[in-house]
A and B are shown apart, each in its own frame.
Chain A
Amino acid sequence: MKSDKLKFLVFCLVVFALPLPLSTGYLTNVLIFVGINSMLALGLNLLLGYAGQISLGQAAFFGLGAYGSGVLTTQYAFDPWLSMVLVALVVAGFAFAIGFPVLRLKGHYLAMATLGVGVIAHIAFNETVDLTGGPSGLSGIPNLSIGSFSFDSDLKNYYLVWSFALAVILLSLNLVNSRYGRALRAIHDSEVAARVMGVNARLMKVQVFTLSALISAIAGSLYCHVMTFISPTSFGFNISVELLTMVVIGGLGSVYGSILGALLLTLLPELLRTFQDYDIVVYGLLLVCMTIYLPGGMVRGIPALLRRLVPARSGNA
């Protein structure tokens, strides 16, 4: 417990200090996206890694958050903070409502249903041209501000996004180490056994689904205010898959694993720029190798790999 707190504190310090030596705005900008993706990946990890329920529609909640805030602030001149809260609540309510029928499904069927939610949302963003601007996007979204202090630079936005991300990390850490978190893992392992222990599995699955939608919606609101421009391509099916990949690569059921996954998958496309059109090949190859050699994700896989390599050497000697 004590070491957990220490770990979190060290992590906070790293996050705080990271942009200081960076002179270029470009890297800070990338790190902002790492923060947003971390929130999204964590939301999905709570659902998938802990409760064992897959969702291929996370981009829908992310998009609803972004478009909700974007539309309310540009078309209806709402206060950005107020719209963020409103949108988060509405999206959570929506997730709660669809959660009951959707989460009755299991495995592939659940994946299909959540995929459907994602596709419907994506089509809606594209087709409601009057409201969202359709495929050409929505621009002129204001930056967030507190009083006269406006979050208008990359560095300011970095601290803004990461304070939210750290709050989500802290929340997740507390949640998964609580009785509630244990019950979630129990549902993951055996739903029948969890139910005969008195765990209300159905309600709990919907609650986690709602929480992950809420986190995604807040990440979406932040995203739209940081970018000041959004278009439907940022909320398509491929984003949902990317999030899934982050969670799996980082490590299912590991909070810091999600952050690592978000970091890697946000940086990777940037690093692969030199390969130009072939980046997707390298990307795929890395994915295949990861799932074959480190199926438990980086967070568990790398220490295990080291353990396997080190005694092998000393054993020969």
Chain B
Amino acid sequence: MLKIKNINAYYGKVHALKNVSLHLNRGEIVTLIGANGAGKTTLLNTLSGIIPAAGGEILLEGKGISGLAADRVVSLGLSQVPEGRQVFNPLTVEENLELGAYLRYRSGGQKDEIAGDLERMFQVFPRLKERRRQAAGTLSGGEQQMLAIGRALMARPKLLLLDEPSMGLAPLVVQDIFKVIQRLRSEEGTTILLVEQNARAALKIADRGYVLETGKLILEGKAAELLENKDVQRAYLGRDKKEIWER
């Protein structure tokens, strides 16, 4: 589905991604974990065409997408749910969702299909239906996250990039969001790349995981194995600390 070979990215002189290579198979949930500033968001933005990749290759279903403009990348089936939700605050819930289908409207036709998708989003996220005419900025954090996911799905992506969907949300809400992510894969067959700081929750629903540290991939493996990995536990799951704390 997606194959990244040796990509690098820079912010001025700062080398933010160093020879990163990873792949996603169709229908997989893969999580990318790492601390603040490890380069997780940079990697997603490089995939989306927001930040140019320096060298290396990005292949989406065998097609090179490195260097393409962001709107081309979306039209090829890759959508991102950006970090911190970034819903369009003054626009209504419905308008936000419609913007997700922006390119589909532009390519003409499909009006009925898009309307159908809108209704489907309201089924998946009933809270959004209740608030369809409300400005997105007035929603709660969890609702905004659902809106951001729904908005990205309106583009009918084959591959969905999720950037820290649990950020700043209550644990119960995080559970809801993660259930939705699992449903997306099982019901729609969407391939998902999930970037998270909440490593435990992410590894629990993922098939495989990668660990990114200061721009380098230092570890990869099955999610279940990473959960048991001593280094991962110490660095990202905080199990040792918890035990000390519990004593």
Q: State the CA gap A183–B151 with chains docked (Å).
A: 13
Q: Give residues 139-198 of A contacting B (CB, 8 Å).
A: 179, 182-183, 185-186, 189-190, 192-198
Q: State the CA gap A261–B155 with chains docked (Å).
A: 39
Tell me if B82 and A183 are in contact (CB < 8 A): no
Tell me if B74 and A182 are in contact (CB < 8 A): no
A189 CB contact (under 8 Å) in B74, B80, B90, B100:
B90
Tell me if A197 and B100 are in contact (CB < 8 A): yes
Q: State the CA gap A189–B151 with chains docked (Å).
A: 15
Interface 0/1 of B66-91, CB less than 8 Å to A: 00011100110001101000111111
Q: State the CA gap A101–B157 with chains docked (Å).
A: 32
* B122 CB, nearest partner CB in chain A, Å: 19
* Chain B residue at minimal CB-CB distance from A189: B88
Tell me if B74 and A193 are in contact (CB < 8 A): no
Tell me if B105 and A179 are in contact (CB < 8 A): yes
Taking CB atoms, residues of chain B closer than 8 Å to A185 are 88, 90-91
Taking CB atoms, residues of chain B closer than 8 Å to A199 are 71, 99, 102
Tell me if B70 and A198 are in contact (CB < 8 A): yes
A291 touches B (CB below 8 Å)? no
Tell me if A179 and B82 are in contact (CB < 8 A): no
A200 touches B (CB below 8 Å)? yes
Given contacts A197-B74, A200-B71, contact A192 B86 (CB under 8 A): yes
* Chain B residue at minimal CB-CB distance from A199: B102
Q: State the CA gap A186–B82 with chains docked (Å).
A: 14
* Chain B residue at minimal CB-CB distance from A201: B70
B98 touches A (CB below 8 Å)? yes
Q: State the CA gap A183–B103 with chains docked (Å).
A: 11
Tell me if B74 and A186 are in contact (CB < 8 A): no
B103 CB contact (under 8 Å) in A189, A192, A198:
A198
Tell me if A179 and B98 are in contact (CB < 8 A): yes
B50 touches A (CB below 8 Å)? yes
* B78 CB, nearest partner CB in chain A, Å: 9
Tell me if A193 and B87 are in contact (CB < 8 A): yes
Q: State the CA gap A199–B71 with chains docked (Å).
A: 6
Taking CB atoms, residues of chain B closer than 8 Å to A197 are 74, 79, 99-100, 102-103, 151-152, 155
Taking CB atoms, residues of chain A closer than 8 Å to B106 are 179
The residue among B75, B88, B89, B98 with the most chain A CB atoms within 10 A of its own CB is: B88
B220 touches A (CB below 8 Å)? no
Tell me if A183 and B80 are in contact (CB < 8 A): no
Q: State the CA gap A95–B49 with chains docked (Å).
A: 27
Tell me if A198 and B98 are in contact (CB < 8 A): no
Tell me if B88 and A190 are in contact (CB < 8 A): yes
Tell me if A196 and B75 are in contact (CB < 8 A): no
Name the prevailing secondary structure of the A interface residues.
Answer: helix
Tell me if A192 and B50 are in contact (CB < 8 A): yes
Taking CB atoms, residues of chain A closer than 8 Å to B75 are 198
Tell me if B95 and A182 are in contact (CB < 8 A): yes
Tell me if A198 and B155 are in contact (CB < 8 A): yes
Q: State the CA gap A197–B103 with chains docked (Å).
A: 8
* B28 CB, nearest partner CB in chain A, Å: 21
A193 CB contact (under 8 Å) in B69, B86, B105, B155:
B86
B191 touches A (CB below 8 Å)? no
* A189 CB, nearest partner CB in chain B, Å: 4
Q: State the CA gap A186–B91 with chains docked (Å).
A: 8
Tell me if B89 and A189 are in contact (CB < 8 A): yes
Q: State the CA gap A194–B48 with chains docked (Å).
A: 12
Q: State the CA gap A196–B50 with chains docked (Å).
A: 8
* Chain B residue at minimal CB-CB distance from A190: B86
Tell me if A182 and B71 are in contact (CB < 8 A): no
Q: Give residues 234-291 of A contacting B (CB, 8 Å).
A: none
Q: State the CA gap A192–B69 with chains docked (Å).
A: 13
* A6 CB, nearest partner CB in chain B, Å: 21
* Chain A residue at minimal CB-CB distance from B75: A198
Tell me if A183 and B102 are in contact (CB < 8 A): yes
Taking CB atoms, residues of chain B closer than 8 Å to A189 are 88-91
* A4 CB, nearest partner CB in chain B, Å: 16
Tell me if A182 and B50 are in contact (CB < 8 A): no
Q: State the CA gap A192–B50 with chains docked (Å).
A: 7
Question: Which B positions have Cβ atoms within 8 angstroms of A?
Answer: 45, 48-50, 69-71, 74-75, 79-80, 82, 86-91, 95, 98-100, 102-103, 105-106, 148, 151-152, 155
20 interchain pairs, CB-CB under 8 A: A179-B98, A182-B91, A185-B91, A186-B91, A186-B99, A189-B88, A190-B86, A190-B88, A193-B86, A194-B99, A196-B70, A196-B79, A196-B82, A196-B152, A197-B100, A197-B103, A197-B152, A198-B74, A198-B75, A200-B70
| Supplied contacts A189-B90, A195-B50, A199-B71, 11 more A-B pairs, CB within 8 Å | A182-B98, A185-B90, A190-B88, A192-B86, A195-B48, A195-B70, A197-B79, A197-B151, A197-B152, A198-B74, A200-B69
Of all A-B residue pairs in the complex, the 5 with the closest CB atoms, nearest first, are A198-B74, A193-B86, A198-B103, A196-B80, A195-B70
